[in-house]
């Protein structure tokens, strides 16, 4: 029923695909307008132009597993993985 379409981003002018699956999703959700921005511009617009946050890996102080945190650990405070952090709350 749907066929892939090539659209032009209104912000950067690059062509991007509006796939049949995306069109079906839009129809299911009741969206009537096609997207006007490419994926990169939508992401940039949604996040206010911010870059994705840099994450650092550390060792969980409780279980010894890998913990990903948005700051560079300095070793002065304990670091917890998501599971151990939620258990401590």
Secondary structure, 3-state, the chain: CCCCEEEECCCCCCEEEECHHHHHHHHHHCCCCCCCCCHHHHHHHHCCCCCCCCCEEEECCCCCCEEEECCCCCCCCCCCCHHHHHHHC
Q: What is the pLDDT of residue 58?
A: 93
pLDDT at 49: 65
Mean per-residue pLDDT for 26-31?
95
Per-residue pLDDT at 79: 93
Q: Which residue has the higher pLDDT, 83 or 52?
A: 83
Distance CA 58, CA 64 (A): 9
What is the reported pTM?
A: 0.52
Q: What is the pLDDT of residues 31-77, one digit of tens each?
A: 999 999 999 888 888 877 677 788 999 999 999 999 999 999 998 99
């Amino acid at each position: 029923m749907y066929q892939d379409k090539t659209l032009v981003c209104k912000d950067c002018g690059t062509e991007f695909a509006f796939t049949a699956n995306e069109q079906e999703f839009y129809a299911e959700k009741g969206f009537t307008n096609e997207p006007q921005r490419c994926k990169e511009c939508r992401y940039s617009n949604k996040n206010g132009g911010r870059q994705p946050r840099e994450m650092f890996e550390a060792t969980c102080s409780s279980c010894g597993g890998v913990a990903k945190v948005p700051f560079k650990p300095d070793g002065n405070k304990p670091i917890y993985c998501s599971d151990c952090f939620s258990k401590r709350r």
